[in-house]
Amino acid sequence: MTVTRMWELEMTARSPISHRGELIGTTAIGRRMKVLQPDGSVELVPVISGNSFRGVLRRIAEGMLRDVLHYEGRLPLAVAHALRNGGAIVKTQAEPITGRRLHQLRELVPLLSVFGGAIGAAPIDGCLRVGHVVPIVTEATPILRRSYEGQPIPSRFDIEALESYSHLDDVIAGHAGTTVDPEAASGGSGSPVMRYDIETLAPGTRFESWVQLVRGSDLDYAFAAGVLAEFTRSGWLGGRSGIGHGQIATTITEHAEGGPVVDWREIVGARRDEALETLLSLPA
């Protein structure tokens, strides 16, 4: 028996949110998506891509799995990369993982069953789908999943901001005898301070998104629900979390009654040795 579940997420920014789409000079411009309006016009709406959101969930999932299987420092680089970042398809003489081997891998490593990945010459399909993270602004109204009647909704121009930062180039500000020309490195200004700008979305901005598990097992469902629960506690959005960006408060609504019927940690932990042996046998 398979499980299909849908979760609706609403997030509120507790700090600036940045998600670079392109770099113009020293200014990181936020990612935007065209949204067709009811009158036929087009607006550019800042969004956090589903790929970025999925990456955050995957990193949380990998940390949870690592805590159960305790494989820190034991896996080949290619396998560790597949777990944390999705991996890459490479040419190999090894047989692709199919049939019984694939079924066993999904049972032992729910992260690969839920998120998929590329190991060796063939990808492994995951059963999780995610949506873009869309700000609740007037220009995004045609694609919002919920109705917000009676609630104040800002324009995208109200939530967009440009933050300036500086970086001290320690090389050209160093001691005499450096091989770097200070004038060349500083653009002729003679100052070692480099300034750059980041386009952000303001704290207080609300977003909506969704996550769907499609025909997964009970173990997949329990693992995905656990990842989303951890996301509400420690998740983030966009980039530059190291300088305080991306902090959010999240609420989740699940479109089904009842929760997971199995404990994924107990099931996966009980077969730890088998799971490690399988991971170490994967084509690197």
Q: What is the pLDDT, as a whole number, of residue 4?
A: 95
Residue 194 lies in a domain: no
Residue 166 lies in a domain: no
Residue 170 lies in a domain: no
Q: For 170-199, what is each residue's pLDDT tens digit?
A: 555 455 555 555 555 455 555 566 787 888
Q: What is the mean pLDDT of residues 92-104?
A: 75
Kindly provide the b/e burial profile for residues 222-249, where b requires at least 16 CB atoms within 10 angstroms of the residue's own CB.
bbbbbbbeebeeebbbbbbeeeebbbbe
Alpha carbon dihedral 128, 69, 232, 142, in 10-degree steps, equals: -20
Say yes or no to pLDDT of 258 above 70: yes
Q: Are residues 280 and 76 in contact, defined by beta-carbon separation less than 8 angstroms? A: yes
Find the range with the poorest average confidence among 25-29, 225-229, 279-283: 25-29
Residue 119 lies in a domain: yes
Residue 145 lies in a domain: yes
Residue 283, Cβ density class (10 Å: 0-12 exposed, 13-18 middle, ≥19 buried)? middle
Question: pTM of this prediction?
Answer: 0.86
State the total domains in the chain.
1
Residue 128 lies in a domain: yes
Residue 165 lies in a domain: no
Q: For 188-236, what is each residue's pLDDT tens digit?
A: 555 566 787 888 999 999 999 999 999 999 999 999 999 999 999 999 9
Residue 193 lies in a domain: no
Find the range with the poorest average confidence among 21-25, 46-50, 51-55, 72-76: 21-25
How many residues are given for the chain?
284
Q: State which residues form the domain around 91.
A: 3-153+202-280
